Amino acid sequence: MTSCAPGICSGDIDRQLASGSFRLAFPPALERAFERETADERTRMFVICGSLAIILYDITLITDYLVLSDRFTEMVVARLGIFTPALILMMVAASRFRHVHVRESLAASGGILAVSLPMTIQIFSQSSDRLIYQYGSLLVIMFSSIIQRLRFAYAALSLTVMITIQLVTTALAGIFTPETFVTNAVFFVIGGILLLLAAYFLERSERRSFLFNLRSRLLHDQLMQIARIDALTGLYNRRHLEESADALWHRAAAAPQVVTAILLDVDRFKAFNDAYGHTEGDACLRRISTIVAEAAQGRSGLAFRYGGEEMLVLLPGWDPHEARALAEDIRRALRAAAIPHPALGPERIVTASFGVAGVVAPDAPLSALIEAADTALYAAKRAGRDCIWPPSGAAVVDEAPRLAAAAV
């Protein structure tokens, strides 16, 4: 059996896990679910990492003063006047526009800006110590790839741009001989490749964890759904009736409303079972339950197998007279199905009797509603079966619980 969510089935997840694909992309429905699941957390992490980056980046003014003292003023402007406010604006934008491309583009831009500012300024420095200054760029590159964990495509783009800036600015600064420049370039390129591999495996791991978690939730939902469904009829069972009623009555505590129930019982079903056996009896109940379920779902109602051949339709907020009209629709649909019941005689068909009742929740409990509907059902049986009780125009809502409460 396959458990399905909107646009996603557990079978799709199993195929994705078994495929062994190295692509960091899911089919469209899974990709949308992945972004929905991770968007808030990744935005939050961008803000946290951005705040940490501002602190660490501005602390390195100490090294600017020690290593690039002749350009210290420019470095203060770059770090405190450009990078810090720019990254704050990026974090605000990422928090407001929670789209993957916006967030990842801003995060990548922050890293590029962090490298470009100091490396551009150091071109114009005459400090003899600026050779060691370039390695601050490596810290930024590592932070973007491993701590900030950019999506792989954005990590690849930002790494390429940052390393290019690093190599171009050091070349313009003239601090290397041709041989040492090549050595330095190889060092940064290999480091970039290793960091890119780390970014790839981090995202791959995140995506696989998402698939495992999603599959677990879908399987849990499937088991919960099975626990709520009657195996024979496919209608909801008594357990789910109690759960639904608890939730409904809890909401009604803040806003009282009429809750109506239709309780139906298949007429002379024992005679049908005795004549044709339980296999045919089960098939008969399944056909009837399909009629009831379709009628209930079309009107936002909940259909339950209440017991044996009894079925219940719960209609929150319904006018009881409208509920009676729905019961009439079900009765007519059952007659139109013309399920033969030869045990009662030639040309006889399966019919049902209906009891309709309503109470005001939360003043009256579910048990009072069921009792009232059951009383009405047996009145329909006594009235000749294949009918609905109360008759059209009669009062259906039991106001007694509300009146009693008011009297107290």
Q: Which of 190, 220, 250 is the last residue of a domain?
A: 220
Question: Do the domain assignments include residue 229?
Answer: no
- Kindly state the percentage of the chain with pLDDT values over 70: 94
Residue 227 placed within a domain: no
Apex CA 36: angle with CA 34 and CA 40, to 5°? 115
Mean pLDDT of 168-179: 88
In terms of pTM, does the model score above 0.85?
no
- 232 part of a folded domain: no
For residues 167 and 188, the answer to whether their CB atoms sit within 8 Å is yes
Is residue 175 in a domain?
yes
225 falls within a domain: no
Which pLDDT score is estimated for 407? 24
Is 280 a catalytic site residue?
Answer: no
- What is the number of structural domains in the chain? 2
**For the chain, what percent of residues have pLDDT higher than 90?**
62
pLDDT the model gives residue 297: 87
Alpha-carbon distances, residue 260 vs 139, 378, 387 (angstroms): 67, 17, 18
pLDDT digits (tens, 9 = 90+) for 263-279: 999 999 999 998 989 89
* Model confidence at 402: pLDDT above 80: no
Q: Comparing 14 with 243, which gets the higher pLDDT?
A: 243
At 394, the pLDDT band (50, 70, 90 cuts) reads: low
Mean pLDDT of 275-301: 92
Residues 242 and 270 occupy one common structural domain: yes
Are 322 and 205 in a shared domain? no
The pLDDT of residue 408: 21
Confidence of residue 348 (pLDDT cuts 50, 70, 90): very high
Q: Mean per-residue pLDDT for 355-361?
A: 95
Q: Of 189, 220, 251, which marks where a domain is finished?
A: 220
Work out the end-to-end distance of the chain between its first and last CA atoms, rounded to an integer number of angstroms: 54
Contacts 24+ apart (CB under 8 A), 335-342: 335/386, 337/287, 337/288, 337/291, 339/284, 339/287, 339/288, 341/268, 341/271, 341/272, 342/275
Residue 233 resides in a domain:
no
Pick the catalytic residue from 104, 203, 294, 309: 309
Same domain flag for 181 and 114: yes
Q: Does a structural domain hold residue 362? A: yes
Show the domain range for 125. 4-220
User: Is 198's pLDDT higher than 70?
Assistant: yes
- For residue 227, pLDDT over 90 is answered with no
Binning pLDDT at 50, 70 and 90, where does residue 6 land? low
Judge whether 327 lies within some domain: yes
250 and 374 inside one domain: yes
Residue 134 pLDDT exceeds 80:
no
Same domain, 192 and 296: no
Q: Are residues 23 and 167 in the same domain?
A: yes
